[in-house]
A and B are shown apart, each in its own frame.
Chain A
Amino acid sequence: MAEFLEFKNVSKRFGAIQAVDGVSLEIKRGEFFALLGPSGCGKTTMLRIAAGFETPDAGQVFLAGREITDLPPNRRPVNTIFQSYALFPHLTVRDNIAFGLQIAKKPKAEIDREVETMLRLIRLEDQAGKKPDLLSGGQRQRVAVARALINKPGVLLLDEPLAALDLKLRQRMLIELDMIHDQVGITFLYVTHDQSEAMSLSDRIAVMNAGRIEQIGAPAEIYEAPRTSFVAAFIGDTNFLEGVVADHPEPEYSRLRIEGLPDATVYNDKQIADGHKIFLSIRPEKIQISRDRPEPKPKRNAVPAVVEDVIYLGPTTKYWVRAGEHRLQVLRQHARFFLDEKPIRWKDDVWVFWHGDDGFMLEGFRRDDEKLVAAPPQKVGEA
């Protein structure tokens, strides 16, 4: 049996807001599945529907083949790690963790044993007698994990569990969560608005926007082959180019007519027919930049451009260049920074070039999504 937690056409509306809009999703047993999307896109609502705190207006939820749509939260083999952790402040760490088993009226000896195991898993044996108020943010988060895991849920739901932590701690907890997932083998449904969290942890990611799923896939798939402008722009940075498919010099490749630029060769796995208008997404790091005209190669697209801005970022440098009417961002990793040829500067004439496989034709494009991409700098006093 592949699907373990399954949403079928689930919708939920709050007044005028359609929080979840006909979402279908299948999560496999043992999978680390991330729900990624900007704030307000309906991620928490999805989790709350899975946990039983919200009843969907339409659609069904299945767990291990059994419908759980209308089951109250206490009767679902699902546990949640809340965004604020929601630890019980009046109980000690030990009693917080033991809560689920006490409710289930398990024998005391068993509860004690399980709690000890959990305390070891989260390495808080020496803090067991403390109240949650006395713990640090990271420790609280671990108690929340233990409290949820002790019930051996079928699915663990995590709602932005790292959002409240500072950067360094977040990175540590990231590794820790990953280890815990490997150790317990429970299905994780992980909600986050942070793409790097989702990328580094998940087996698969569903990108959500305005109550809908835009794309589901492995992290690399989502990043390398975004299907919509939203996915391309929300996950990492990108350049959008608008063009018309002119013809097919090769079965898998099309020539694209882009206004103000030479024709470009692009990979066309979607078999978009000649004459169609399409949008292309090219990630900044896929574009190369040099002072000299690059050697022509098959499927290489080269365009002359002028540097408008140079932003030094440490491991990389970002160049904003203008090619015709288009402004493109180019990211360059510098090996041997000081030994490189004469550095590229503002107002230099350069060439930018990319391989036909690196541009990606989008199935869906919305103008609005351009706002998600880093905006080109507006120079003071520039004509």
Chain B
Amino acid sequence: MKRSRFPFIVTGLVLVFFYLPILILVVDSFNASRFGGAWRGFSLKWYVRLFHEPAIWTAARNTLVIALIVTFVSLLLGTTSALALHRFSKSRFQRVHYTLIYTPLVVPEILMGISLLMAFVAAGVKLGMGTIILAHVTFCISYVALVVLGRLQDFDFTVVEAARDLGATGWTATRRVLLPMLAPGLAAAGLIAFTLSVDDFVITFFVAGPGSTTLPIRVYSMIKHGATPLINALSTLLLALTFTTVLVSQRLSKSGALEGGQ
């Protein structure tokens, strides 16, 4: 029986469409040519040049500091939120809570960026690292909460009761049983928050201030100055970072809760 080739062709085209530009970018970052296009031989010089740009280092440091703080804060708040959502799933209050948690995932980023900017300006907050962290936390919480909620849904809470039964206080049971058992899910959620924070451009663009440039913003301003090969190198590095975190987080979320949360 002859099988239709059609699905293969479509799949192939989709892959090409998605990944060819990225592949070209990665290959070009190793191209000795200044203007891309023609291959002038393998070179690491753009990477070397990149490492000698102080502005890049500052941006990298900012990005990392922001991402780490955002990961920590949104893990803390998102997990708490998920626990409340799960525990009191039937109350009307928590249904409102769920909607609020879900909303940032569907609101257009540009809208969030503008509204956050307006909120900060109205409140007289100085734009900078602080505002970026706040902005990132607002949407990272949602992802963390949904991923953790997915985990809680197939979590058997009798183990927590067992710990209480054996003499543990509520807090000890949480610390010694609930959290260790949720650890893989929490790690996956944390990595998602980290990746989202590192990658975010639109919202960051609105709420960033002087001296708080992050890598995506840096890439954007470099494009305006036409430093293409450097951007390729930087983007390739960002890509590698994102890819690794996503891979690790997928490893950690074997149950597919990650997909369910997004």
Binding site for B on A (CB under 8 A): 51-53, 72-74, 78-80, 82, 84, 86-90, 99-100, 103-104, 147-148, 151
On whether the beta carbons of A84 and B156 are closer than 8 Å, the reply is: yes
22 examples of A-B residue contacts, CB within 8 angstroms: A53-B165, A72-B164, A73-B161, A73-B164, A74-B165, A74-B169, A79-B166, A80-B165, A82-B158, A82-B161, A84-B156, A84-B158, A86-B158, A86-B161, A88-B162, A88-B177, A90-B180, A99-B168, A100-B166, A103-B168, A104-B167, A147-B166
Complex Cα gap A132–B259 (Å) = 29
Tell whether, in the assembled complex, residue B164 and residue A74 are in contact, meaning their CB atoms are under 8 Å apart: yes
In the complex, what residue of chain B is closest to A159 when comparing beta carbons? B158
Q: Chain B interface secondary structure, helix, strand, loop or mixed?
A: helix
B180 touches A74 (CB 8 A): no
Nearest 10 A/B pairs, CB to CB: A86-B162, A86-B158, A100-B166, A103-B167, A73-B164, A80-B165, A90-B180, A74-B167, A86-B159, A103-B168
A53 to B172 alpha-carbon distance, docked (Å): 17
Which of chain A's residues have a CB closer than 8 A to the CB of B181? Answer: 88-90
Contacts of B165 in A (CB 8 A): 51, 53, 73-74, 78-80, 148
Residue of B whose beta carbon sits closest to that of A53: B161
**Which residues from chain A contact B176 at a C-beta distance below 8 Å?**
99, 103
**Would you list which residues of chain B between 149 and 173 have a CB under 8 Å from chain A?**
156, 158-159, 161-169, 172
Interface centre among A51, A86, A89, A147 (most CB of B within 10 A): A86
Interchain CA distance A299-B55 in the complex, whole Å = 109
Q: Which residues of B contact A88 (CB under 8 A)?
A: 159, 162-163, 177, 181
Q: Do residues A103 and B166 form an inter-chain contact, with CB atoms below 8 A?
A: yes
* Shortest Cβ distance from residue B115 to the other chain A in the assembled complex, whole angstroms: 42
Instruction: Report which of A53, A72, A84, A99 forms a contact with B166, defined as CB distance below 8 A.
Output: A99
Residue on B with the closest CB to A77? B167
CA distance A276 to B165 in the complex (A): 51
Give the complex CA separation of A51 and B169 in angstroms.
Answer: 14
Return chain A residues, CB-CB under 8 Å to B161: 53, 73, 80, 82, 86
Q: How many residues of B contact A (CB 8 A)?
A: 17
**Beyond the given A73-B165, A99-B168, A104-B167, could you list 14 further A-B residue pairs with CB under 8 A, ordered by the A residue number?**
A52-B164, A53-B161, A53-B165, A72-B164, A78-B165, A80-B162, A82-B161, A84-B158, A86-B162, A103-B167, A103-B168, A148-B165, A151-B166, A151-B167
User: In the complex, which of the residues A74, A78, A87, A148 has the most CB atoms of chain B within 10 Å of its own CB atom?
Assistant: A74
Measured CA separation A349–B156 after assembly (Å): 59
> What is the bound-complex CA distance between A368 and B102, given in angstroms?
50
When distances are taken between beta carbons in the complex, the residues of chain B under 8 Å from A104 are 167
A52: min CB distance to chain B, Å:
8
Find chain B residues with CB under 8 A from A52 CB. Answer: 164
Which has the most chain A C-beta neighbours within 10 Å: B158, B167, B168, B177?
A: B167
Residues of A within 8 A of B167 (CB): 74, 100, 103-104, 151
Chain B residue at minimal CB-CB distance from A147: B166
CB-defined contacts of A79 to chain B, threshold 8 Å: 165-166
Q: Which residues on B sit within 8 Å (CB–CB) of A51?
A: 165
Query: Contact between A86 and B168 (Cβ–Cβ < 8 Å)?
Result: no
Chain A residues contacting B158 (CB-CB under 8 Å) are 82, 84, 86
Cβ contacts under 8 Å, B177 to chain A: 88, 90
Shortest Cβ distance from A146 into chain B, in angstroms?
Answer: 12
Report the minimum CB–CB distance from B164 to chain A (whole Å).
4
- In the complex, what's the smallest C-beta–C-beta distance from A185 to chain B, in angstroms? 20
CB distance from B105 to the nearest CB of A (A): 31
When distances are taken between beta carbons in the complex, the residues of chain B under 8 Å from A53 are 161, 164-165
Q: Which residues of B contact A84 (CB under 8 A)?
A: 156, 158
Measured in the bound complex, the distance between the Cα atoms of B181 and A78 in whole Å is 25
Cα A79 to Cα B172 with chains together (Å): 17
State the CA gap A104–B180 with chains docked (Å): 20
Residue-wise, chain B 168-212 has the 8 Å CB interface mask toward A (1 for contact) of 110010001100110000000000000000000000000000000
Complex CA distance for A151 and B176, rounded to whole angstroms: 18
Alpha-carbon distance A151/B162, docked complex (angstroms): 13
